[in-house]
Protein backbone atom coordinates (compact mmCIF):
# COMPACT_ATOMS: atom_id res chain seq x y z
CA UNK A 1 0.00 0.00 0.00
CA UNK A 2 1.38 3.40 -0.95
CA UNK A 3 2.08 5.86 1.88
CA UNK A 4 -0.43 8.57 2.63
CA UNK A 5 0.26 12.02 1.18
CA UNK A 6 2.13 14.18 3.67
CA UNK A 7 -0.89 16.38 4.41
CA UNK A 8 -3.29 13.52 5.07
CA UNK A 9 -0.64 11.67 7.09
CA UNK A 10 -0.22 14.73 9.31
CA UNK A 11 -4.00 14.97 9.79
CA UNK A 12 -4.20 11.29 10.72
CA UNK A 13 -1.31 11.74 13.14
CA UNK A 14 -3.18 14.54 14.89
CA UNK A 15 -0.55 17.07 13.90
CA UNK A 16 -2.52 19.13 11.43
CA UNK A 17 -6.04 20.43 11.06
CA UNK A 18 -8.39 19.62 8.24
CA UNK A 19 -9.04 22.41 5.75
CA UNK A 20 -12.24 21.27 4.03
CA UNK A 21 -15.41 19.36 4.81
CA UNK A 22 -14.14 16.55 2.58
CA UNK A 23 -11.07 16.21 4.81
CA UNK A 24 -13.22 16.28 7.94
CA UNK A 25 -15.30 13.40 6.60
CA UNK A 26 -12.20 11.47 5.48
CA UNK A 27 -10.51 11.34 8.89
CA UNK A 28 -9.84 7.73 9.94
CA UNK A 29 -11.08 7.67 13.53
CA UNK A 30 -9.19 4.51 14.63
CA UNK A 31 -5.95 5.79 13.10
CA UNK A 32 -6.28 9.17 14.78
CA UNK A 33 -7.03 7.57 18.14
CA UNK A 34 -3.94 5.35 17.79
CA UNK A 35 -1.84 8.44 17.18
CA UNK A 36 -3.27 10.44 20.09
CA UNK A 37 -3.97 7.71 22.67
CA UNK A 38 -2.14 4.56 21.56
CA UNK A 39 -2.82 2.55 24.72
CA UNK A 40 -6.50 3.43 24.72
CA UNK A 41 -6.76 2.68 21.00
CA UNK A 42 -5.43 -0.80 21.60
CA UNK A 43 -7.82 -1.34 24.50
CA UNK A 44 -10.86 -0.10 22.57
CA UNK A 45 -9.90 -1.27 19.10
CA UNK A 46 -13.03 -3.33 18.42
CA UNK A 47 -15.37 -0.62 19.71
CA UNK A 48 -13.79 2.11 17.61
CA UNK A 49 -13.48 0.06 14.43
CA UNK A 50 -17.16 -0.89 14.75
CA UNK A 51 -17.99 2.78 14.24
CA UNK A 52 -16.63 2.82 10.70
CA UNK A 53 -20.03 2.01 9.22
CA UNK A 54 -21.80 4.79 11.12
CA UNK A 55 -22.51 8.30 9.93
CA UNK A 56 -20.14 11.06 10.95
CA UNK A 57 -22.40 12.49 13.69
CA UNK A 58 -22.98 9.03 15.15
CA UNK A 59 -19.21 8.39 15.16
CA UNK A 60 -18.42 11.66 16.88
CA UNK A 61 -21.16 11.14 19.45
CA UNK A 62 -19.95 7.62 20.20
CA UNK A 63 -16.37 8.81 20.54
CA UNK A 64 -17.48 11.42 23.04
CA UNK A 65 -19.17 8.79 25.20
CA UNK A 66 -16.25 6.36 24.89
CA UNK A 67 -13.60 8.95 25.77
CA UNK A 68 -15.61 10.35 28.66
CA UNK A 69 -16.04 6.84 30.03
CA UNK A 70 -12.38 5.85 29.61
CA UNK A 71 -10.61 9.14 30.31
CA UNK A 72 -13.03 11.01 32.55
CA UNK A 73 -14.09 14.67 32.44
CA UNK A 74 -10.72 15.93 33.69
CA UNK A 75 -9.21 15.15 30.27
CA UNK A 76 -11.67 17.32 28.34
CA UNK A 77 -9.41 20.35 28.69
CA UNK A 78 -6.50 18.39 27.22
CA UNK A 79 -8.50 17.36 24.16
CA UNK A 80 -9.99 20.84 23.79
CA UNK A 81 -6.48 22.28 23.36
CA UNK A 82 -5.26 19.61 20.92
CA UNK A 83 -3.89 20.66 17.50
CA UNK A 84 -6.29 18.29 15.72
CA UNK A 85 -9.70 19.78 15.02
CA UNK A 86 -11.23 16.29 15.16
CA UNK A 87 -9.79 15.71 18.61
CA UNK A 88 -11.22 19.05 19.73
CA UNK A 89 -14.48 17.81 18.24
CA UNK A 90 -14.23 14.76 20.49
CA UNK A 91 -13.94 17.18 23.42
CA UNK A 92 -17.20 18.80 22.30
CA UNK A 93 -18.98 15.45 22.39
CA UNK A 94 -17.45 14.58 25.75
CA UNK A 95 -19.13 17.73 27.05
CA UNK A 96 -22.31 16.64 25.31
CA UNK A 97 -22.10 13.22 26.99
CA UNK A 98 -21.67 14.56 30.52
CA UNK A 99 -24.49 14.57 33.06
CA UNK A 100 -24.70 18.26 33.91
CA UNK A 101 -27.24 21.11 34.00
CA UNK A 102 -27.68 22.99 30.75
CA UNK A 103 -26.22 26.30 32.02
CA UNK A 104 -23.01 24.50 33.04
CA UNK A 105 -22.94 22.64 29.72
CA UNK A 106 -23.22 25.89 27.78
CA UNK A 107 -20.42 27.40 29.82
CA UNK A 108 -18.25 24.37 29.14
CA UNK A 109 -18.89 24.38 25.38
CA UNK A 110 -18.44 28.13 24.94
CA UNK A 111 -14.66 28.15 24.25
CA UNK A 112 -15.14 25.46 21.60
CA UNK A 113 -18.07 27.37 20.11
CA UNK A 114 -15.55 30.18 19.59
CA UNK A 115 -12.87 27.91 18.07
CA UNK A 116 -11.03 29.23 15.03
CA UNK A 117 -11.79 26.05 13.06
CA UNK A 118 -15.11 25.81 11.20
CA UNK A 119 -15.51 22.12 11.98
CA UNK A 120 -15.04 22.46 15.72
CA UNK A 121 -17.66 25.20 15.81
CA UNK A 122 -20.14 22.86 14.12
CA UNK A 123 -19.31 19.99 16.49
CA UNK A 124 -19.82 22.37 19.42
CA UNK A 125 -23.48 23.10 18.74
CA UNK A 126 -24.24 19.60 17.47
CA UNK A 127 -22.80 18.08 20.65
CA UNK A 128 -25.05 20.05 22.98
CA UNK A 129 -28.17 20.26 20.80
CA UNK A 130 -29.83 17.22 22.44
CA UNK A 131 -29.54 18.96 25.80
CA UNK A 132 -30.86 22.19 24.27
CA UNK A 133 -33.78 20.29 22.77
CA UNK A 134 -34.59 18.78 26.14
CA UNK A 135 -34.89 22.18 27.84
CA UNK A 136 -35.67 24.91 25.32
CA UNK A 137 -36.78 27.42 27.95
CA UNK A 138 -33.43 27.20 29.74
CA UNK A 139 -31.62 27.26 26.41
CA UNK A 140 -33.23 30.50 25.29
CA UNK A 141 -32.70 32.02 28.72
CA UNK A 142 -29.03 31.11 28.66
CA UNK A 143 -28.27 31.90 25.02
CA UNK A 144 -30.02 35.27 24.79
CA UNK A 145 -27.00 36.87 26.43
CA UNK A 146 -24.74 35.36 23.80
CA UNK A 147 -26.37 37.46 21.07
CA UNK A 148 -24.47 40.52 22.29
CA UNK A 149 -21.06 38.86 22.48
CA UNK A 150 -18.19 40.57 20.62
CA UNK A 151 -17.42 37.29 18.85
CA UNK A 152 -19.48 36.59 15.74
CA UNK A 153 -18.87 32.90 16.38
CA UNK A 154 -20.60 33.03 19.75
CA UNK A 155 -23.49 35.06 18.36
CA UNK A 156 -23.89 32.58 15.50
CA UNK A 157 -23.80 29.60 17.89
CA UNK A 158 -26.79 30.98 19.81
CA UNK A 159 -28.81 31.05 16.61
CA UNK A 160 -27.52 27.93 14.87
CA UNK A 161 -27.90 25.65 17.89
CA UNK A 162 -31.61 26.40 18.13
CA UNK A 163 -32.66 26.19 14.48
CA UNK A 164 -36.04 24.40 14.18
CA UNK A 165 -34.66 22.00 11.57
CA UNK A 166 -30.91 22.46 11.44
CA UNK A 167 -28.34 20.38 9.59
CA UNK A 168 -27.22 16.83 10.51
CA UNK A 169 -29.47 16.85 13.56
CA UNK A 170 -32.97 16.07 14.77
CA UNK A 171 -35.62 18.69 14.26
CA UNK A 172 -37.05 20.61 17.21
CA UNK A 173 -40.74 19.77 16.95
CA UNK A 174 -41.76 22.40 19.49
CA UNK A 175 -40.18 25.20 17.45
CA UNK A 176 -41.54 23.87 14.18
CA UNK A 177 -45.02 24.18 15.68
CA UNK A 178 -44.44 27.44 17.55
CA UNK A 179 -41.24 29.33 16.68
CA UNK A 180 -42.20 32.40 18.71
CA UNK A 181 -39.71 31.69 21.56
CA UNK A 182 -36.93 32.04 19.00
CA UNK A 183 -37.50 35.78 18.73
CA UNK A 184 -35.60 36.20 21.99
CA UNK A 185 -32.48 35.30 19.97
CA UNK A 186 -33.47 36.44 16.50
CA UNK A 187 -34.55 40.01 17.24
CA UNK A 188 -31.16 41.08 18.67
CA UNK A 189 -29.45 39.61 15.57
CA UNK A 190 -31.70 41.04 12.86
CA UNK A 191 -29.13 43.69 11.90
CA UNK A 192 -25.97 41.82 12.86
CA UNK A 193 -22.94 43.12 10.91
CA UNK A 194 -21.52 39.63 10.33
CA UNK A 195 -22.55 37.67 7.24
CA UNK A 196 -21.78 34.52 9.23
CA UNK A 197 -24.51 35.45 11.71
CA UNK A 198 -26.87 36.86 9.07
CA UNK A 199 -26.84 33.56 7.19
CA UNK A 200 -27.70 31.66 10.37
CA UNK A 201 -30.59 34.00 11.20
CA UNK A 202 -31.93 33.70 7.66
CA UNK A 203 -31.62 29.92 7.81
CA UNK A 204 -33.38 29.81 11.20
CA UNK A 205 -36.34 31.66 9.74
CA UNK A 206 -36.27 29.59 6.56
CA UNK A 207 -36.52 26.49 8.75
CA UNK A 208 -39.55 27.96 10.51
CA UNK A 209 -41.12 28.94 7.19
CA UNK A 210 -41.46 25.27 6.25
CA UNK A 211 -44.18 24.84 8.89
CA UNK A 212 -45.11 28.41 9.95
CA UNK A 213 -44.83 30.69 6.91
CA UNK A 214 -47.42 33.00 8.45
CA UNK A 215 -45.24 33.54 11.49
CA UNK A 216 -42.12 34.17 9.42
CA UNK A 217 -43.95 36.71 7.26
CA UNK A 218 -45.03 38.49 10.42
CA UNK A 219 -41.47 38.65 11.73
CA UNK A 220 -40.16 39.96 8.41
CA UNK A 221 -42.94 42.55 8.14
CA UNK A 222 -42.05 43.71 11.64
CA UNK A 223 -38.33 43.90 10.89
CA UNK A 224 -38.78 45.74 7.58
CA UNK A 225 -41.13 48.37 8.95
CA UNK A 226 -39.69 51.82 9.40
CA UNK A 227 -36.04 52.15 8.36
CA UNK A 228 -34.36 48.75 8.66
CA UNK A 229 -30.63 48.27 8.21
CA UNK A 230 -29.66 47.04 4.73
CA UNK A 231 -28.49 43.72 6.16
CA UNK A 232 -31.98 43.10 7.53
CA UNK A 233 -33.24 43.04 3.97
CA UNK A 234 -30.57 40.47 3.11
CA UNK A 235 -31.69 38.29 6.02
CA UNK A 236 -35.31 38.71 4.95
CA UNK A 237 -34.62 37.45 1.43
CA UNK A 238 -32.79 34.44 2.81
CA UNK A 239 -35.60 33.76 5.28
CA UNK A 240 -38.32 33.86 2.64
CA UNK A 241 -36.60 31.75 -0.04
CA UNK A 242 -38.70 28.64 0.62
CA UNK A 243 -42.09 30.34 0.76
CA UNK A 244 -43.98 29.71 -2.47
CA UNK A 245 -45.57 33.09 -3.00
CA UNK A 246 -43.51 36.13 -2.18
CA UNK A 247 -44.74 39.62 -2.91
CA UNK A 248 -42.56 41.95 -5.00
CA UNK A 249 -41.95 44.08 -1.92
CA UNK A 250 -40.60 41.10 -0.04
CA UNK A 251 -38.39 40.04 -2.93
CA UNK A 252 -36.73 43.43 -3.02
CA UNK A 253 -37.56 45.62 0.00
CA UNK A 254 -37.35 49.27 -1.16
CA UNK A 255 -35.01 50.21 1.68
CA UNK A 256 -32.58 47.42 0.82
CA UNK A 257 -31.88 47.86 -2.89
CA UNK A 258 -28.14 48.20 -2.32
CA UNK A 259 -27.67 45.34 0.12
In a domain, 203, yes or no: no
- How would residue 3 be classed by pLDDT, with cut points 50, 70 and 90? low
The CB density around residue 181, as the number of other CB atoms within 10 Å, is 16
In a domain, 172, yes or no: no
In a domain, 42, yes or no: yes
In a domain, 238, yes or no: no
In a domain, 254, yes or no: no
Domain that holds residue 13: 1-134
In a domain, 118, yes or no: yes
> Could you give the maximum distance between any two Cα atoms of the chain, in Å?
66
In a domain, 92, yes or no: yes
Q: Which of 72-81, 87-96, 165-174 has the weakest average pLDDT?
A: 165-174
What's residue 242's pLDDT? 85
In a domain, 90, yes or no: yes
Rounded Cα gap, residues 92 and 79, in angstroms: 9
Mean pLDDT of 144-163: 98
Surface-to-core class of residue 259, CB atoms within 10 Å of its CB (0-12 exposed, 13-18 middle, 19+ buried): middle
Mean pLDDT of 43-64: 92
Nearest residue to 121 via CA among 147, 158, 66, 68? 158
Question: How does DSSP classify residue 190?
Answer: T
Nearest residue to 202 via CA among 228, 221, 220? 220
For the chain, first and last CA: distance in Å?
53
Instruction: Give the total number of structural domains in the chain.
Output: 1
Rounded Cα gap, residues 190 and 201, in angstroms: 7
What's residue 8's pLDDT? 87
What's residue 7's pLDDT? 86
Amino acid sequence: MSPLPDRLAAIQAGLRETATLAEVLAVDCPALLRAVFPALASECRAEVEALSGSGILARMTAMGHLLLDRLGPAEIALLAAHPSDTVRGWACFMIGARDMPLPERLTAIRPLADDHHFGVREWAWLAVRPAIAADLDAAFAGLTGWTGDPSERIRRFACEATRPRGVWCRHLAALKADPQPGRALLDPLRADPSAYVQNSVGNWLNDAAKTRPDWVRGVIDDWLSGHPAPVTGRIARRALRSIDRITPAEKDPPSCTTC
